[in-house]
Every structure is written in structure tokens, then in C-alpha cells.
Amino acid sequence: MLINPIFALQALPVDVNFASIAPELIVIIAGVLVMLVDAFAAPKQRWLTGGISLAGIVAAGVACVLMWNDAGTGGVVTSSFNGMIVVDQMRLSFTFVFLIVSALTILMSMLWVEREALPAGEFHSLLMFATAGMMLMASGGDLVIIFLGLEVLSIATYVMAGFRRNDLRSNESALKYFILGAFSSAFLLYGIALTYGATSTALEGGTTNIAVIADRIAAGTAIYPQLLFAGAALMIIGFGFKIATAPFHVWTPDVYEGAPTVVTAFMAAGPKAAGFAAFMRVFVFGFPLVATSALSIQVHAAWINALVVLAILTMTIGNTAALVQKNVKRMLAYSSIAHAGYALVGFIAAGVTLDITKQNDAIAGVVFYMLTYAVMNLGAFAIVMLIARGGDRRTELEDYTGIGFKAPALAFALSLFLLSLLGVPLTAGFIGKVVVFRSALDPAVMNDYRNVMTLLVVVGVINTAISAYYYLGLIVVMFFRERTTEWRAPRVPASVAVTLILTLAGVLYLGVFPGKVIDAFRRNAINVSRLR
């Protein structure tokens, strides 16, 4: 007699737990509220929607902190909605990063929506939904939630990229992003479907729950293990597109260059981090190495090796291509590709570290890296936005010629962000790289992968040396080249000034006193593979 899956479902009532999705709920409600307010408020009140969004993000942040304090102490469930949502350190840290990214983006956007007379309400509500999507990608314990989160995020970003409707570049950017994004989503979805099929057991249908996938692989009860390989490969492609690893990075330069600078800043910081959250969740926890299972060893080796090659390609292509760029946004786009490569090193380290504490350290390292990258990247883009002026017209390298002593504050701030992106000590970027490379060289890394990880770190460090060329190039252009044409420093409105102060403080704080943040990211870490 077979067990009917339907009865199994009926036997499991949904464990609805709103507390476990409080940050997501708050952000979504704020998004809806923004729409409603925007519909009834006077058209000039742009600060209103931004204010509501910010308030929502702060509230979500508070909820996040409350959950943080409870996490691991038994005060909060570790999973809810039948395993759809997980509450662990990785999720909460990533959520924290997303909230910071969104808050800074909103601050930056205040100037932009006003300057270009764009519909602020729509922009802010889309941004809030995108934030919710990112948070779902981090909190999903199930492939379905992760996919939905990714789609919510993607659709919002497609629209935001094309938000400046009267600009052909913006339209083109949105269209390219949409077509290629849909293309890659198809890969991801097909991968999920194959994984579902692969994990069917003799008694039940397949599963999309990451923890259960890991269990079934380990226990050897999956009946179509061969499909797992195809599923994992397709999911790597889908996620690889999202975080812009080579060779799935091709969309990045065009999309980043064409999109409004605010949106570019957001795309480089937020969705990339969200992509990492989901990517790590699925692969580190869904396809871990279990020594007793031949299948698990095989799958694990396959995805690790694939990622190693992708990481090397990503770092190298990102940095070498950035060398010859003449457009600052395009250069930063390639730089963002390179940074994804560095972060991948930490991701792979998490994959090849078996010790649970060390693995959590490695994951915390990646989250920290994404935080540092987000802060310095948003800061750099805020200045790029100011210098670009209306319509994002001034983004060529030559537009930066000799502004060093005409707008010293802006130029020095931008130099600091660039140095941080380069990874100079006492800046956030340095600590991020140290933390990521440290976990890659940790003795806890499996013996088989020692050499590979060393190779990755060597490639990474050599690439940082290469990257000095183009980051410094921009600084040299700003300070050592004479400007022949007239140029006036742009006005810095209060909201952007706040963004800059926050990001500058962030770059220095994370560079000088990173201890507290790193500690928070790795404290009380709960390993999701033990959850249901």
C-alpha cells in the first residue's frame, strides 16, 4: 500500500508564524502604503514617499535586530511555513545588508526623482518590493520562495532600470536586462524543476525544500540522482547570471551603463548580495558534502570545481576589461563583476569547509564582504550621480578631468571609495578581502581543496594588484590632469550629503573597527541544514 502524498499534506497543518517574516511584511506593507499615499498626496510631495519608505526600512531593521537577539536562543522559531522560511544568522545578516542598501538608495534617489521629475511614488514602491524580494531570497528555505523572491526583485529592477522613459539608454538597458534576465530565470526554473524531479523518493514526490534535498541526497533515497547534475548546472547558470559571474556577466556593462545611476548603484549592491544569499543557501546547504554518500561527493565536487573556474574567470575578466573602459559607470560595472569574483572565493570556501563553525565563519565573511562592497559602491555611485548631472550625461572619464581641486570634498570622497574598492588597509574593502581570503586559506578547508583555494587566493590577490591600475587611473585623472573647459562643482543636496556621510563613515568604521559587525554576523549561527 502506498502512502498517498495528499494525506501527508493534510496531516501537516501550516505553521503560520508572522513573527518569522516580520521584516518582509513590514517592507511590503510600507511599499503598499507608499502607493496609496502617492495616489492621494499632492504631486509635489516627493519627500513623503521617500520618508515612508525610509520609516518602513527602519521598522524592518528594528524587527530584524529583535529577531537577531532572539535567534539561536530559542525565542524565535528556526523555520516556519512548513520549512518555507528559515531564521538563521545568514538570513538575518543578509537582510541587514539589504536594508542598508535600500535605505541608502532611497536617500540617493531623493535628488534624482526631483531633478528629473520622475514619479517618486512608483519608484519608491518598486524599490520597497525589490527589497522584499531580496529579503525573501535570503530567508527562503525552499527553492520556490527563492525563485519567487528572485522574480519579485528582478521585475522591480527591470522597471527601475527603464525608469527614465525619455532616455533611450535607459530604455535599452531595461529591455536588455529584461530579455536576458528572463532567459536566465528560465534556466533557474528548469534547474529547480529538475532538482524536484531528481529528489523524488520511492514513497513521495520530489521536494523543493533545501534541507530535505540535502537529506535525500545524503540518505541516497533520491531515485533520479542523475537529474541532480543537470539541475545543479542549470541553477548555477541562473544564479551566476544574477551575481554576474563570467561568462554570464555580459549583460552587466550595458545595463549598468544605461540604467539611471541610482538604479545602477542599487543593482550592483543589492541584487548581487541577494543572489549570493540564495546561491549560497542552495548550494552550501542543499548540496553539501556528506562523506557517507557517493552521490553527494560527486555532486559536491562538480559544483565546487565549476565555481572555482567561474571565480577565476570572473575576477580576471572583470579586472582586465575594466582596464580599458572610458566610461566611469562601465568601469564600475566591470569592477562589480570582479568583486563578485572575490566574494565567490569566500562562497567556495564555505562550500569546502566541513567544520560547521568554520563554515559559518566563511559565510559571515561573504556577508561582510557584500556589506563592505555595498557601502563603498553606493558611496562611489552617489558621487558619480552628482557629477553626471541631469540625464546622467557626464559619466565619461574625461568628465572627471581635473576636478580634484575644483570640488575637493567630492573628489577626495570618491578617491576614498575607490581606494576602498581597491582594498587599501584601514578601509572597509581591505577588511572584506582579508576576511574572505582568510576563510579560503583556513586549515579547516578540506585537504583535497587546499591547493585550489590557495590558487584562488593568489589569483584574487594578483587581480587586486591589476585593479590598482584603473582605480588609480580615475584618481590620477581627477588630480593630475588639467581641465581646459569650464566646470562648476555640483550642488550637494542634503539627502545626498547624508548618503555620503553615512557611506564614508561606513567605509572607515568597517575598516577600522570591523570587529563588532563581523561578530554580529557570525554570532549564534544556526546551521540551516539541521532545520526542517
Partner 1 sequence: MIIADLFQTLIWIVLAGLAIGSGVAMVVQRNPLYAAISLIGVFISFAGFYLLLGAPFIAAVQVIVYAGAIMVLVVFVIMLLNVEEEVRKPLRLKFLIPAAIFGAAILFAQAAFIIYSVGASPVRVPNADAANSQIGLTKSIGTGLFTDYLLPFEITSILILMAIVGAITLARRPTVLLLVEEDYDGKKHVERRTLKIDNI
Partner 2 sequence: MTNHWLSLIVAAPLIGAVINWLVGRRVRSEAFIGFVACASIGVSTVIAFILAFTDNNGAGAALFSEPARPVMSHLWTWMEVGNFRADVGFAMDRLSGIYVCFVTFVGLLIHIFATGYMHGDKSYYRFFAYLNLFMFMMLTLVLGDNLLLMFVGWEGVGLCSYLLIGYYVDRKEAGDAAKKAFIANRVGDWGVILGIMFVFFITAAAGAPSISFFEKTDLTNLVGNQVPAMTNAFATIATMAVDPFTINALIAGGLTSAAILLFIGATGKSAQIPLFVWLPDAMAGPTPVSALIHAATMVTAGVYMIVRCSELYVRAPTAMAIIAVIGAATALLAATIGLAQNDIKKVLAYSTVSQLGYMMLACGVGAFSAAIFHVMTHAFFKALLFLGSGSVIHGMHHEQDMRRMGGLKKYMPITFATMLTGWLAISGIPIFAGFWSKDEILYKTFSTQSNSFGLILWFVGLCTAVITAIYMTRLMVMTFWGTERFAEAHAGGQGDEAHAQAFADKKTTAHDAQTATIDDRQHHSPDEHVGAATSHASHQVHAVHDEHDDEDAHEHHGLAHGQKPHESPLVMTLPLIILAVLSVFGGLLGAPYALSLGAIDNPFHHTLEPVIAHEPNFVGGAANGADDAHGSPATTETHSAPVSANEHEGVPHGEGATAAHTPEEIFTERVLAGVSILLAAFGIGLGWTYFQRRPLAQMPRLLENKYYVDEIYDATIIEPIKDGSRVGLWRILDVGVIDGIVNGVGTVAREAGNGARQLQPGFVRSYAAIILLGALLVIGYFAAALAR
Q: Please report, as residue ranges, which positions from 380 to 399 form the binding site for partner 1 (by CB under 8 A).
A: 389-391
User: Under the criterion CB under 8 A, does residue 292 sit at the interface with partner 1?
Assistant: no
Q: Which is nearer to partner 2, 52 or 478 (CB)?
A: 478
How far is residue 414's CA from residue 386's CA, in Å, rounded to a whole number?
Answer: 11
CB of residue 291 to partner 1, shortest distance in Å: 22
Binding-site partner at residue 498 among partner 1, partner 2, none, CB < 5 to 8 Å by type:
none
CB of 368 to partner 2, least distance (A): 9
Copy the grid coordinates of residue 130: 525589490
Question: CA-CA distance, 123 to 49, in Å (whole number)?
Answer: 9
List beta partners, residue 445.
353
CA-CA distances (angstroms) from residue 24 to 27, 92, 136, 377, 529? 5, 11, 7, 24, 22
Q: Which does 4 bind (CB under 5 to 8 A by kind): partner 2, partner 1, none?
A: partner 1
Give the whole-angstrom CA distance, residue 376 versus residue 362: 21
Site for partner 2 in 501-520 (CB under 8 A): 512-515, 518-519
CA separation for the pair 16, 299 (Å, rounded): 34
Which lies closer to partner 1 via its Cβ, residue 309 or residue 505?
309
Query: Which of partner 2, partner 1, none has residue 453 at its interface (CB below 5 to 8 Å by kind)?
Result: none
By CB under 8 A, tell whether 491 contacts partner 1.
yes
Of residues 228 and 322, the one with the C-beta less far from partner 1? 228
Q: How far is the CB of 375 from partner 2 (least distance, A)?
A: 16
Shortest CB 32 distance to partner 1, Å: 8
Interface residue with partner 1, options 135, 156, 445, 456 (CB under 8 A): 156
Contact of 76 with 163, CB cutoff 8 Å: no
Place of cell 520549512: 83
Exactly one of 4, 36, 405, 505 binds partner 2 (CB under 8 A); which one?
405
464 binds, among partner 1, partner 2, none (CB under 5 to 8 A by kind): partner 2
Residue 320 CA to its chain's centroid (Å): 22
Position 167, amino acid: D
Residues 435-464 that bind partner 2 (CB under 8 A): 435, 437-439, 441-443, 450, 454, 457-458, 461-462, 464
Decide whether 13 or 443 has the Cβ nearer to partner 2.
443
The span from the CA of 309 to the CA of 301, in Å, is 12
- Binding partner selected for residue 247 from partner 1, partner 2, none, CB under the kind-specific 5 to 8 Å limit: partner 2
Cα 298 to Cα 165: distance, rounded to the nearest angstrom: 49
- Using CB under 8 A as the binding rule, the residues of this chain from 410 to 429 that contact partner 2 are 419, 424-426
- 23 part of the interface to partner 2, by CB under 8 A: no
Q: Is 190 in the site for partner 1 (CB under 8 A)?
A: no
Work out whether 179 is an interface residue with partner 1 (CB under 8 A).
no
Q: Residues 461, 377: contact at Cβ < 8 Å?
A: no
**Span 257-276, contacts to partner 2 by CB under 8 A:** 257-258
C-alpha to C-alpha distance for 49 and 261, rounded to whole angstroms: 20
**CA 499 → CA 283, 336, 415, 493, distances in Å?**
35, 20, 16, 10
Please state, in angstroms and rounded to a whole number, the distance separating the CA atoms of residues 312 and 215.
31
**Shorter beta-carbon distance to partner 1: residue 487 or 509:** 487
Cell 565563519 locates to 361
CA-nearest of 368, 366, 318, 369 to 471 is: 318
- In terms of CB distance, is 34 or 317 closer to partner 2? 317
Joined together, the cell numbers standing for residue 507 give 567605509
> Cα(first)–Cα(last) distance of the chain, in Å?
27
**In the bound complex, what is the minimum distance in angstroms from residue 401's beta carbon to partner 1?**
12
Cell of 401: 578631468
Q: How far apart are CA 89 and CA 160, in angstroms?
A: 30
What cell numbers appear for 304 in the block? 565546487
In angstroms, give the least distance from the CB of 145 to partner 2.
24
Per CB under 8 A, which of residues 320..339 are in contact with partner 2? 320-321, 323-324, 327
In the list 476, 494, 501, 505, the residue contacting partner 2 (rule: CB under 8 A) is 476
The Cα 174–Cα 179 span in angstroms is 9
119 preceded by a cis bond (ω within 30 of 0): no
Spell out the SS3 assignment of 466-515. HHHHHHHHHHHHHHHCCCCCCCCCCCCCHHHHHHHHHHHHHHHHHHHCCH
The reply to whether 222 sits near partner 2 by the rule CB under 8 A is no
Residue 94: what residue type? F
User: Is 495 one of the binding residues for partner 1 (CB under 8 A)?
Assistant: no
CB of 155 to partner 1, least distance (A): 6
Does residue 225 interact with partner 1 by CB under 8 A? yes
Q: How many CA within 13 A on the CB side of residue 443?
A: 0
Cα 400 to chain center, whole Å? 28
31 or 514, CB closer to partner 2? 514
Site for partner 1 in 41-100 (CB under 8 A): 81-82, 84-85
Q: Tell me how many residues contact partner 2 (CB under 8 A).
A: 95
Does residue 472 touch partner 2 according to CB under 8 A? Answer: yes
- Quick check: 354 binds partner 2 (CB under 8 A)? no
Min separation Cβ 373 and partner 2, Å = 17
* Alpha helices by DSSP H, 353-480: 356-388, 408-422, 428-440, 450-480
Footprint of partner 1 on 110-149 (CB under 8 A) = 114-119, 122, 125-126, 129, 132, 136, 142, 144-145, 148-149
Q: Using CB under 8 A, list all residues that contact partner 1.
A: 2, 4-6, 9-10, 12-14, 16, 21, 28, 32, 35, 81-82, 84-85, 114-119, 122, 125-126, 129, 132, 136, 142, 144-145, 148-149, 151-152, 155-156, 158-159, 162-163, 165-166, 171, 174, 200, 202-203, 205, 223-227, 229-230, 389-391, 485-488, 490-491
